[in-house]
Amino acid sequence: MMSDKEWLEAKGIAVIGPVDHQVLLSIYFFDPTSNCRLELTTPLMRLSDQDAKDAEQALDQWEVWRQEASEASMEFGEFLRQKLQMRAKHVA
């Protein structure tokens, strides 16, 4: 059986990957009709209901931080770097 990557490459489509993201495996390619970058993924592990709840909480926190950065007129990346530095000080 041919993999998705092999099938795409057989059609002349350049594929990047696979890329191992620890929880899923991805390949990337451009749609030949729209030139839109696409990603195909497959899970590497089964995620639990708690994993889904943790991800939802992380996204909620991300949105809170994005709002805080905006209110402080800070670039979001810089805001996150400051959060990481503060966390490192507390952990050490």
**Which residues on neighbouring strands pair with residue 28, listed in sequence order?**
16, 39
How high is the pLDDT of residue 21? 92
Q: Does residue 1 have a pLDDT over 70?
A: no
CB-count burial class (<10 Å; 0-12, 13-18, 19+) for 29: buried
Q: Is 92's pLDDT higher than 80?
A: no
For a pLDDT cut of 90, what percent of the chain falls above it? Answer: 74
Judge whether residue 84 has pLDDT over 90.
no
**Is 8 within 8 Å of 29 (Cβ atoms)?**
yes
Mean pLDDT of the chain: 91
Q: Which residue has the tokens 């002349």?
A: 12
pLDDT tens-digit profile of 41-63?
A: 999 998 899 988 999 999 999 99
- Measured between alpha carbons, how far is 21 from 30 in angstroms, rounded to an integer? 20
Residue-level pLDDT at 26 = 97
Residue 39 pLDDT > 90, yes or no? yes
